[in-house]
Structure 1
């Protein structure tokens, strides 16, 4: 039975909210760290812990669903690795640059993991991935507007970790419960880092940005995404994520005052174009 107009509008609205949430993580993390409002370890710990609390509240009627299990360990590890690399990368990366590297590596990582699992991409997918990779190489090549290499590599690692997290959680029978358990487990690891890494006291603004990132753009954003994901085709879901760097770049320019260099804009067009070639649905034969 085809979806009703109201059903289609609901899917579009939820997808738009998820995209805003994903971009919002970059727009909240960058000013908190760049302005020295809070240290990266504490930001990450508060983000994961507050996200775990929010998701636990959503699962309040079934508390057993939020207790991590052995089967959740890969998801917990991948989520923690993503959060740690993402946060420390934003000490030096701009919000727009970080979002572009992150979501490009998510798509490249998913393709690489699929190949390792015996499902290599076809010719068109390979061509698109090569174009996207060339755009990233261009962005990171030495030059006046080259982003710092180590933070860029950390953000690339965050993208790979998110790709692993996506594959680990694919097809989960209880997406909300599994996400809550992953956050609870990752929050425990994050708190260990907080106690192990001494940092100066945060400001109220820094704490507020960390809590907003954890409870709103992470916990609620991921819950919305996993709720709408089964209603999207693979190509549509992939194409929707291509909007995240665009939204993040617009927000960085309008809200954070970041200057978008011509090199970043051009490299972004190459990267997003290559990924679109990879995920665009094929036309049926005439």
Structure 2
């Protein structure tokens, strides 16, 4: 189980590194990356579905596919101008905070510790975005946060998915024409090199499609609190990967922001966990 979790977290962080590596090196443009990523992801998922011994009918959910398409396109666009680690922190922070606010809006109690954790996480993101020489592009940071909102919506909608594999196949297949529409509406100058295509295929087929199936096999065996907790490692892995493979600088601001955001989310998760235990 530990090996599976480790591989899944590395794959999630690798998505950020692969996308930033392709775009920072001008190997491919963001929309072409998005199209190749969603197509290769759909292809791998379809193959896994065909090879499945307990194959179920493909499930089609337009809302989930729309959320997936927005996440993929915004994710690629944001990495034009922001580092892999910064992007992962903004994405991850937005997803986790959105999930918490959704839970509170739908009846979960927000005690003092959880409220403090939320304020800490938001403060960490604000510190990251404050004007300064090391601040990431505000407009592209907002695009990444939109990607995070879309992924949170996709995750929330996925709770009603009867079969993760057949549902994921349907979502990715439906997302293809939606991403293609974005390609033709928003596209400007195409940049496509063999290395850019390879990175996009790797991102879509392995660290997206294959990793999602692996992650779904894990979350069936651990509770949602633990599932959220292990994802705290993703921004840290992305920061490390960005430094090792892209040469991105790890400055004091991103270290401080990462620590504050992750501590805040950690507090929210565990305050919620102990609250649930107390109610039982």
TM-score bracket for this pair, using the shorter chain length: over 0.9
Q: Which residue of 1 aligns with 2:77?
A: 88
What is the CA–CA distance in structure 2 between the aligned matches of 1:282 and 1:149, rounded to whole Å?
Answer: 36
What is the CA–CA distance in structure 2 between the aligned matches of 1:201 and 1:105, rounded to whole Å?
Answer: 30
RMSD (Å), alpha carbons: 1.7
- Change in Cα spacing, 1:61 to 1:254, as seen in structure 2 (3 Å) is closer
Q: Which residue of 2 aligns with 1:228?
A: 218
Aligned equivalent of 1:210, options 200, 210, 214: 200
What is the CA–CA distance in structure 1 between the aligned matches of 2:158 and 2:148, rounded to whole Å?
Answer: 15
> Please, what TM-score do these two structures have when normalized by structure 1?
0.90
Tell me by how many angstroms 1:173 deviates.
2.1
- Asked whether the equivalents of residues 96 and 249 of structure 1 are also in contact (C-alpha less than 8 Å), the reply is yes
**Larger deviation, residues 27-36 vs 116-125:** 116-125
- Asked whether the equivalents of residues 92 and 148 of structure 2 are also in contact (C-alpha less than 8 Å), the reply is yes
What is the CA–CA distance in structure 2 between the aligned matches of 1:89 and 1:266, rounded to whole Å?
Answer: 22
Deviations 1:25-79 (A, max 9, x none): 001000111111111111001000110011001111578734x53xx11111111
Aligned equivalent of 1:110, options 88, 93, 99: 99
- Asked whether the equivalents of residues 45 and 193 of structure 1 are also in contact (C-alpha less than 8 Å), the reply is no
Q: Which residue of 2 aligns with 1:282?
A: 274
1:13 aligns with 2:3: yes
What is the CA–CA distance in structure 2 between the aligned matches of 1:45 and 1:142, rounded to whole Å?
Answer: 33
Aligned equivalent of 1:250, options 219, 231, 240: 240
Count of aligned positions: 272
Aligned equivalent of 2:32, options 35, 42, 50: 42
- What SS does structure 2 have at the residue aligned with 1:128? helix
What is the CA–CA distance in structure 1 between the aligned matches of 2:160 and 2:190, rounded to whole Å?
Answer: 42
- Asked whether the equivalents of residues 111 and 120 of structure 1 are also in contact (C-alpha less than 8 Å), the reply is no
What is the CA–CA distance in structure 2 between the aligned matches of 1:277 and 1:253, rounded to whole Å?
Answer: 28
Aligned equivalent of 1:272, options 231, 253, 262: 262
1:23 aligns with 2:32: no
1:148 aligns with 2:137: yes
- Asked whether the equivalents of residues 59 and 65 of structure 1 are also in contact (C-alpha less than 8 Å), the reply is no
Aligned equivalent of 2:41, options 17, 41, 51: 51
**Larger deviation, residues 116-125 vs 268-277:** 116-125
- Asked whether the equivalents of residues 132 and 275 of structure 1 are also in contact (C-alpha less than 8 Å), the reply is yes
What is the CA–CA distance in structure 1 between the aligned matches of 2:150 and 2:258, rounded to whole Å?
Answer: 21
What is the CA–CA distance in structure 1 between the aligned matches of 2:64 and 2:111, rounded to whole Å?
Answer: 28
Q: Which residue of 2 aligns with 1:5?
A: none
- Asked whether the equivalents of residues 98 and 155 of structure 1 are also in contact (C-alpha less than 8 Å), the reply is yes
- Asked whether the equivalents of residues 111 and 121 of structure 1 are also in contact (C-alpha less than 8 Å), the reply is no
List aligned pairs for 1:108-147, cutoff 5 A: 108-147=97-136
- Change in Cα spacing, 1:201 to 1:268, as seen in structure 2 (3 Å) is closer
Q: Which residue of 2 aligns with 1:100?
A: 89
Query: Runs of 5+ in structure 1 lacking a partner?
Result: 1-10
What is the CA–CA distance in structure 2 between the aligned matches of 1:267 and 1:201, rounded to whole Å?
Answer: 33
